[in-house]
Structure 1
């Protein structure tokens, strides 16, 4: 691929993102605009924005790479990512919107009437957010290196700079416009090139090549236990993602929150068809990318390799623009959610505190990205889902649906899940996941039940700490809003 084409694509998406962010500055003036877009985002806009921020580096690049490496075993990733939203629809979307909270710590504090619960929840939200941002920056480093020839550090620095600019400019309202635009750009950037490639293959006699060796480094987990553990992580982890949950606070009411989730299910289902096609095509016609350690670059390299010429460069430029849209939209959503938590709990809230917190939220994971490396984007994000499922998810689900939850139970459960899953992640980082037993490399199958069990048992033991405000809060969560009269 011509480096000038990659640089032009990268510059174009960065400028477009900044311009949309500046438009958000014109309409973002109040604290409510910055934190939850004044709760006025309609379902189609919100669904597009959720699709924009949820479809990260793991979805845009990692899924195709895993399918190249592992074939059908990797299909659990898009299935799990999409099915997690069905869980959101059934158990979380409407009650969370009715809570009236700005952030997840707001919700847990109101539900359990406890400042210590809020502090621990805030810590978990920040950890999850930073863990999730780092793979986005790794993806930006990979993309900038392969498509432009520039040093790897340019990608993460550019993504962080553009995100800070847009989030500081207009907060949640600004990011809503940016992310909705970026979902449709990502979908277009994947769909058009793969259609061209399919038409080319149908009209040619290009020979197939032997597929890559089974279970190479970076492949998707295989085996019954690994598949179950992965599904547990993806299904329950989606329920605790802070940048996704905060978007439900922007809907006008619980009914529109449910409608938003239904639309998101449709948008995700359509999107995941295309990285799956890229992986399957590469497995037949470009398996050498797996042997060369470039599986995560399949989406970036395939159009130029199979189409070639000026048309191949133009299609590659479109894919590069979509890849950077993925990094920018997910990172900006995470920075918004983290800025809301940090500004309220540390900096006293307000627009000024939000802006300062946004800078901190983006710069810290940038430092971690420089100190770490990842060659399996989808796999690393899957571990973040496992951590989220083991910490935030149990408190959220039990807080919405179980009257017996107490503050001590919530804190103990979050710390237990965080220690167990975090310990497994540290071991994987030190020794490599391939060198560890499956139950350590894929810990969600036992860390998530352990977190739920500890939360329930400790809550039972401390049942005298059930807050006096329980009935009022549970009524607010579960009684539908009455429509406004004429």
Structure 2
């Protein structure tokens, strides 16, 4: 396999990303442009951008790898990642936009009037953002090593450099245009090769995945969708569903994009469009995993399952055709890492700017310094932690978001009785429990038993405990309900058209 196609794809995507980002710089002049694109992004463009940043390396490469190894039960990942936007649409999108906040800590302070809750929220935004960035950098290394033969550490470094340059150029305004472009690139990169791969499969007699022995994993996993996730598959499946369904609303790079909409109605329109776009995209990666069970089952034993999408053209087609398809897939994979990393960097940098660097620097300078910090720390951590499947680490980020920001947002928007002490206690409980599980997963290789299952998928027990803690402590401290709560909730739930009519 020649490294030239992969290198050419890498260069072209990098040039296109930096060119679009530089073009966006012409429109970025104020601090509001850098943080939230001056709240002027149309629903269609915003939906493309959200889909572009949401489709990470875990979606582009990781889902196919998990389907290759574990079978059909891994379809809960794309189902949950898409369904999370339905929960977001129903409970959070419009009220959060009407709050007028720039970041999740802004919302927490505005709702509860507490600097302590703000600081806890800021720390958790950074933790979730860095946890989500880890697999982007490590996954980029795996992908580029498979496509070009480059050292694994180089992929993460290249992504980090490009992201920093792009974010420094124009902040959210530039990133919006880049991510919209990268969504269509990723969709095309998966769809076009898949057409040729399916034609080859049909020409070979349409061998069924249920008839093969994929490295010791037989066809039974396709008949029983919860059969092979460790020792406690039913628990693991439900816990994964809790994490993905409820974690989406707490992801900082997702939430911050809704602040770029002009109003709450546009936020809902954006969410509906995102549901449709993601639904189309997530049909594709599982097919790569299914074909991998036929043509590349050896990747399971070698621990290279995340590279199955890139390896299939080489295994199934060969020649110049495989080189061209591999180049397209490499471009899509690299775009996936860039888009998600850019969104996360903007979200984390925004929080660091407002709560840390703004004390010594001002405006855009503070944002740019924060962006460098937001990228460098997870890049270094990605070199120190043990190798873990890309989708697995992303699942842990969803679990942490579900156990912290989901209770804060749902109760903060829909329950008048939430107090600052209740929110703070719930954030600490959810953050500490899922944080301990994350550290254990990244540093310790466990297999078998209930403890391993509970730590690998912590959402099923951490999320209810966080909700319960917020409710119980708030009930015990009713005098700490902020005096402005009723007025703030009316603001969250009143459509902008009603407010305009009254004016």
Which interval holds the TM-score relative to the shorter structure? over 0.9
- Tell me the equivalent position of 1:6: 6
Residue 42 of structure 1 pairs with residue 42 of structure 2: yes
Structure 2 gaps, min length 5: 222-227
Residue 399 of structure 1 pairs with residue 412 of structure 2: yes
- Paired residues of 1:95 and 1:254 also in contact (CA < 8 A): yes
Stretch of structure 1 that moved more, 77-86 or 416-425: 416-425
- Tell me the equivalent position of 2:271: 261
The correspondence for 2:428, drawn from 415, 420, 444, is 415
Distance in 2 of aligned mates of 1:117 and 1:240? 15
- Tell me the equivalent position of 1:101: 101
- Tell me the equivalent position of 1:427: 440
Distance in 2 of aligned mates of 1:200 and 1:172? 42
- Paired residues of 1:138 and 1:373 also in contact (CA < 8 A): no
The alignment yields a C-alpha RMSD, in angstroms, of: 1.7
**Normalising by the residue count of structure 2, what TM-score does the alignment of the two structures yield?**
0.93
The correspondence for 1:448, drawn from 439, 463, 483, is 463
Cα distance, 1:154 vs. partner? 1.1
Distance in 1 of aligned mates of 2:347 and 2:260? 12
Within 5 Å, give how 1:5-404 maps onto structure 2. 5-205=5-205, 209-214=212-217, 223-348=233-358, 350-404=363-417
Distance in 1 of aligned mates of 2:78 and 2:287? 12
**3-state SS of paired residue (1:405):** coil
- Tell me the equivalent position of 1:470: 485
**1:262-311 alpha-carbon deviations (Å, 9 max, x no partner):** 00001111101110110111112221221221110011111121111101
Distance in 2 of aligned mates of 1:275 and 1:67? 9
Distance in 2 of aligned mates of 1:124 and 1:393? 12
**1:387-431 alpha-carbon deviations (Å, 9 max, x no partner):** 111112111111111101111111111111111111222223343
- Tell me the equivalent position of 2:474: 459
- Paired residues of 2:143 and 2:330 also in contact (CA < 8 A): yes
Distance in 1 of aligned mates of 2:31 and 2:431? 32
**1:180-205 alpha-carbon deviations (Å, 9 max, x no partner):** 00011000000000111111222334
Distance in 2 of aligned mates of 1:296 and 1:27? 38
- Paired residues of 1:135 and 1:374 also in contact (CA < 8 A): no
Stretch of structure 1 that moved more, 203-212 or 86-95: 203-212
**1:435-460 alpha-carbon deviations (Å, 9 max, x no partner):** 54322221110010000000110111
**1:242-278 alpha-carbon deviations (Å, 9 max, x no partner):** 0000000000110010010000001111101110110
Distance in 1 of aligned mates of 2:107 and 2:331? 37
Distance in 1 of aligned mates of 2:74 and 2:204? 28
Distance in 1 of aligned mates of 2:68 and 2:177? 34
**1:125-164 alpha-carbon deviations (Å, 9 max, x no partner):** 0000000000000111101211111111111111000000
Distance in 2 of aligned mates of 1:301 and 1:284? 12
Distance in 1 of aligned mates of 2:18 and 2:343? 15
Distance in 2 of aligned mates of 1:473 and 1:24? 35
Distance in 2 of aligned mates of 1:289 and 1:198? 20
Distance in 2 of aligned mates of 1:301 and 1:213? 20
Distance in 1 of aligned mates of 2:440 and 2:336? 29
**Normalising by the residue count of structure 1, what TM-score does the alignment of the two structures yield?**
0.97
